Amino acid sequence: MHASQGRSTGLGLALVSAFAFGGSGVAAKPLIEAGLDPLHVVWLRVAGAALVMLPVAWRHRALVRERPALLAGFGLFAVAGVQACYFAAISRIPVGVALLVEYLAPALVLGWVRFVQRRPVTRAAAAGVVLAVGGLACVVEVWAGLGFDAIGLSLALAAACCQVGYFVLSDQGAGPGGRADAEPPHPVGVIAYGLLVGAAVLTGVARPWGMDWALLGGDAVMDGRAVPAWVLLGWIVLLATVLAYLTGVVSVRLLSPQVAGVVACLEAVIATVLAWVLLGEHLSAPQLLGGTLVLVGAFIAQSSAPRPPSGPVASGPGVLSAEVAQAQRPTGQSSAR
């Protein structure tokens, strides 16, 4: 494929991934408001996607022997932890706010790099952190005595911390045993097993056998409009998870990690706009300004952070914007959900 054609294709796939990830909360919130527990919605999403990706997992079954710790960490943090905390957060606070809070992850990663790994951080990256934190203060309207549910905000911050755990895992060596010259694990295989591990973990936590399955045969309300619950579930599993992860991975292979990361920042904007249009969630002017500052700060932080000395988990790109491609990004690059 010609270089320019590959770049155009990569940008197109990165945009598809950002839109797909950005729509997850919009599709999940009506199901939660219809009576499904947030953890049950997360389990349905992850288990459904894991089932779809099962043939891929079988094809890359050697990863279980070669990189068990990576697969376990990916499933626990990048899949189960991020999704459970994020979906629980949107049951209490607006979708756009929850996702914007998650974008503090690059700032938290820089804190890990500077104070735990004791590696230098550029001034521009530090400025990005300050900007992101200031933007978060506007998003939650601290001058009003915390305008949002404290538990919901804490859950969104927990989702950001889970993303940090994933970024830390991404700072391992490329090959088995940390050997940079070894063959890196295939990103799609890491995703498939991450979903399987996440589904296993969430099964014990969510206990889906206690779920009211009849709700999936009824309707959910999306800004006053009745939508079949199974349609929203299909959206979450096929579009917001399987399609989002796969297009994100391929886009990172066609683009540089930096370019894919910039496009991934659109996820928060897309989620906020979709929540505005489809759910009727309106943010105030200060909150919109704060969200812009969070995104700008996250972008500066991820683009200014120095590359780690070791290679990324997988050759190629940038998830986990969305959530998936994160397995391939250097530490300090932002995800999505």
Residue 335 lies in a domain: no
35 — pLDDT class (breaks 50, 70, 90): very high
For residue 94, the number of C-alpha atoms closer than 13 Å in the C-beta half-sphere is: 25
Residue 277 lies in a domain: yes
Q: Which of 33-47, 145-159, 176-190, 316-330 has the highest mean pLDDT?
A: 33-47
Residue 130 lies in a domain: yes
CB 239 within 8 A of CB 16: no
Give the model confidence (pLDDT) of 267-302 as tens digits. Answer: 777 777 888 888 888 778 887 888 788 778 777 766
φ, ψ at 270 (rounded to 5°):
-60, -45
309 — pLDDT class (breaks 50, 70, 90): very low
β-sheet bridge partners, residue 221: 226
Give the mean model confidence (pLDDT) for residues 206-216. 91
* Percent of the chain residues past pLDDT 70, beyond the cut: 73
- Residue 289's contacts (CB-CB under 8 Å, 6 or more residues apart) are 135, 138
**In a 3-state reduction of DSSP, which class is residue 4?**
helix
CA distance 189 to 139: 37
Q: Residue 177: what pLDDT?
A: 46
Residue 287 lies in a domain: yes
Percentages helix, strand, coil for the chain (3-state, rounded to 5) are 70, 0, 25
CA distance 88 to 109: 23
Residue 60 lies in a domain: yes
Give the mean model confidence (pLDDT) for residues 84-97. 84
Return the structure tokens found at 61. Answer: 């079954």
Q: 129 pLDDT exceeds 60?
A: yes
**Could you tell me the CA-to-CA distances from 52 to 124, 198, 243 in Å, in that order?**
42, 14, 11
**Could you tell me the CA-to-CA distances from 171 to 245, 261, 273 in Å, in that order?**
20, 16, 33
Give the mean model confidence (pLDDT) for residues 175-192. 66
Residue type, 80: A
Range of the domain at 168: 3-328
Residue 44 lies in a domain: yes
Give the mean model confidence (pLDDT) for residues 304-316. 44
Residue 334 lies in a domain: no
Residue 59 lies in a domain: yes
Give the model confidence (pLDDT) of 156-177 as tens digits. Answer: 899 988 877 766 665 443 444 4
Q: Residue 316: what pLDDT?
A: 32
Mean pLDDT, rounded, of the chain: 76
pTM over 0.95: no
CA distance 215 to 32: 10
For residue 126, the number of C-alpha atoms closer than 13 Å in the C-beta half-sphere is: 7
Q: Residue 265: what pLDDT?
A: 64
**Tally of structural domains, the chain:** 1
